[in-house]
Every structure is written in structure tokens, then in C-alpha cells.
Chain A
Amino acid sequence: MSDRSVLELLATHPFTADLSEDQQAQLAACARIAHFEPDEYLLREGQPATAFYLIVSGLVSIEVFVPGHGPRPLQTVEGGSAVGWSWMLAPSRWEFDARALERTTAVVFDAERLRALFLEDCCLGLRLVQRLLFIVTERLRAARLQLLDLYGPPRER
């Protein structure tokens, strides 16, 4: 897939759509397009975190493997969102599994090149880190709400 296709996707993806064309081009230079079939893993717990995924379409399950129980989904991520930030922090290993539930298309960034780009262009780096932080915050909020067991039994009547 050519850079142009990556550029087209970056121009419409909510994570990157409002960046300048130059910035999108800088990012496109670090990225490729990948397709994942149902049940194919994007990333595996414990493996080196070498990529960052912008999900274009499809559905991805973030999950943890529980011995004796198999994969336990924690959350799903749909087109328009992102997967994976373990590459930003040492020791850069995935903490969970991510598995496609449907045929999924993603823009996959090379983490090493992305880190280098962030250092080279700190303004772009800061903008993207802020966006990542927004996603991390959203996921944290969702996880907290899930912990509350909102739909449990109400008071007795």
C-alpha cells in the first residue's frame, strides 16, 4: 500500500484529521496499512511494543488471557479509535492482548520512528501525546465505570 493511501486514511481519521498536511505526511512516512482477519492478534501481552495502531474500521478486543478461562475481553475498540501506548514507556512491552473480532483495517506506525519524530518535532509530539492521553483517560474512565457494576440490582422494593 502506498504512502498516499496512508495519507488518505490519516486525513480522515479522528486522531489525525485536523493535523496539517505536512504533519500528516511526516506521520505517513512512519506508517503502513494492515488488515487483520477475525481472531487474528494485533499484539500480544509480553511481546515488545513496537507499533501504534489507528483503527480505521472493524472491531478489536483488548483482552487478557486467564489460564483455565481463556481470553477475557476487557473492552472493545472500534474504527476511529487507537490501540496501544505501551511503546511510549519503558520497558515497552504490551500489557494486554488485542485481537480482531471482525475484519479490521488499521494504520500501523513504527514505534521507533514515531518516537524519533516526536523528539525531532516536539510540537507535533506534544499534540499527539495529548491525544493519546485523552484516549488513555477515556479508557480509564470506562474501566472505572465497569468496576462499579452499574447494572447490578437496585435497592429492594
Chain B
Amino acid sequence: MVKPAIATPAATNPFFPLPFLVISRRRETRDTVTLRLRPLSDVRLIAQPGQFMMLSVYGVGEVPISVSGLPRRPGELEHTIRAVGSVTRHLVALHPGDQIGVRGPFGTSWPLQLAHGQDVLLVAGGLGFAPLRSALLAILRERWRYRQVIVLYGARSPADLLYRRDLSRWLQRPDLVLRITVDHPDQYWRGQVGVVPNLIRQVTAFFEPANTVAMICGPEIMMRFTIRELQKHGIPDERIFLSLERNMQCAIGLCGHCQLGPFFLCKDGPVLPYSRLAPFSEIREF
């Protein structure tokens, strides 16, 4: 006998957040944590790497946060959050056992299928590593599908590096090229110092521009200079993908807060190829 599906308000109404439980909290840096969330209902929200969820703290507000990991169990979510405002400060202060509201997933995802059989270049700056981490984890889970996998990551200082345990593990992998740089080293730092676009010329031997898919996430100025560098090395605009952060509010393309040219970044983005964005690149923010 087929059990009848029960339509919950959340399943039918994209504005209705579902209750989730915080099941773990990992401190990444002074102001950033990674939360793992488990649904308290039977509805599964399956997010693809690159998509975002609207996380709400009851009575405080709601923010768009990209998924930063893969689910360990069906329906679980992982988000990395930096405390920069009222809602995010509350989210960062949550602990296992606390509840929040979640709606989504929203937006476009990283082009992982397009990257099958291709070289993959991920360029991350600062907190922009969070959305790319989910893509990287998906790539490493099916590593055989891709050719060279190259990750370039820039952070403000060694203390601001996210996912240190992952980074140490990835640095040991022979099938992954990982370069890390910081802008402001401390006295113990023995690695590279400088901005992340500078790392690109160090890895040109590892990718064939015409067969490379590049994915970039970070501050827009960093992405702008990274794009120029990738173009210099021959990667076509349609193979350069960016994740753009905007003032996402409704998350379903109704309110217009996240509009950029003809795009509503909450539904047409956040991940878009540069070939579509280039005509609007003269707008002061992409």
C-alpha cells in the first residue's frame, strides 16, 4: 500500500522555513564556524554544491548561506558562517541541540558535470572557500571523473585559514595540486605570501586551458583579477564560473534585491559563467 504523501507548509511554500537541529559546531577561525544541521521533519532538502539555503534564527532574521560540505546522512546540511552582522552573530553562537529554520535549496550549482573529463581549477579567496569546498569534496568523492584538480586558496592571514584539517590532508594527496597563500603572514608562516591571482602562473603546467573548467569564489576584486589572469592564460570566458554574493532576500526571484542586469542572482545565480556576466562587468559591482 502506498503511503499518502503529506504536504507540509514548507514543502509547498518556499517562504516557510523547516526546522533543523544543530548537530555539530566546529570553530574554523576567530569569527567563523561550520555548523552541521539535521532536519527535524521528514522533508529532505537536497542541496548541490554551489547552491545556498536561507538560514533563519527565530526572532532575529534570515541570511543566505552556501552549502560548504556534503551530507553525511541524507538530508543533512553543512554551512560555514562568519559573524559579520546580527543574524550571522546569532548563527555563529549556536551550539549542538539548538534549532534554526532552513528553506531552500536555491540557485544554480557549480558545473561539476561539465567538468567531467576536464582539468578543474578552483580559486578561492577568504570565506569564498566555503562554497568551493562542497564542490571540491564532490570532486574528490568521484576523483576518477576529472583530470588534474588544482586548488588555489588565499586568505588574509594564517589565522584566517578555513578547514585546516582538510588542508593538511589535501596537501598530502598526490592527485591534488593545492597552493595556499596569505596576505599578512605571522612569524611562524613558512608558506607563500601574496594575492591569490599570483598563484595561477605557478600552476599553468598542470592544466590545458581549452580543457579546463575554472570555478572562482571570493571578494569581487579578487575574482576580477583572477579572471584577467585566467584569460591571459587562455581559459575561455564560458569555462570560467563565478559565485556571486548579493542581497538575497526572497531567494526565488520575486523581490529583485539581488538583481544584476537581467539576472536575479538568487535564481539565475549565484553560480554563472563569466561569458554571461562579462557584458555587465562595467557595472561597479559585477
Q: How many residues of B are counted as interface, with CB atoms below 8 angstroms from the partner's CB atoms?
A: 37
Query: Does A154 belong to the interface (CB within 8 Å)?
Result: yes
Contact B156 A151, beta carbon cutoff 8 Å:
yes
Contact A157 B218, beta carbon cutoff 8 Å:
no
Query: Does A116 belong to the interface (CB within 8 Å)?
Result: no
Given known A153-B84, A156-B84, contact A76–B192 (CB-CB < 8 A)? yes
Query: Does A74 belong to the interface (CB within 8 Å)?
Result: yes
Minimum C-beta distance from A12 to chain B (A)? 12
Contact A145 B84, beta carbon cutoff 8 Å:
no
Minimum C-beta distance from B246 to chain A (A)? 11
Contact B195 A146, beta carbon cutoff 8 Å:
yes
A5-27 contacts to B, CB under 8 A, are none
Residues of A within 8 Å of B185, CB to CB, are 73
Contact A59 B218, beta carbon cutoff 8 Å:
no
Contact A157 B87, beta carbon cutoff 8 Å:
yes
Of B63, B156, B190, B198, the residue contacting A152 (CB under 8 A) is B156
Query: Does B94 belong to the interface (CB within 8 Å)?
Result: no
Contact B187 A150, beta carbon cutoff 8 Å:
no
Contact A150 B125, beta carbon cutoff 8 Å:
yes
Query: Does A120 belong to the interface (CB within 8 Å)?
Result: no
Given known A78-B202, A156-B84, contact A150–B127 (CB-CB < 8 A)? no
Query: Does B279 belong to the interface (CB within 8 Å)?
Result: no
Nearest A residue to B201 by beta-carbon distance? A80
Contact B218 A73, beta carbon cutoff 8 Å:
no
Query: Does B16 belong to the interface (CB within 8 Å)?
Result: no
Residues of A within 8 Å of B125, CB to CB, are 150-151
Please list 15 pairs of residues, one from A and one from B, whose beta carbons are closer than 8 Å in the complex, sorted by A's number. A61-B193, A73-B185, A75-B193, A75-B194, A78-B192, A80-B202, A142-B198, A150-B183, A152-B156, A153-B82, A154-B84, A154-B219, A155-B85, A157-B63, A157-B88
Interface residues of A (CB under 8 A from B): 59, 61, 70, 73-76, 78, 80, 101, 138, 141-142, 145-146, 148-157
Interface residues of B (CB under 8 A from A): 31, 63, 82, 84-88, 125-127, 154-156, 160, 181, 183-185, 187, 189-195, 197-198, 201-202, 218-219, 221-222, 225, 245
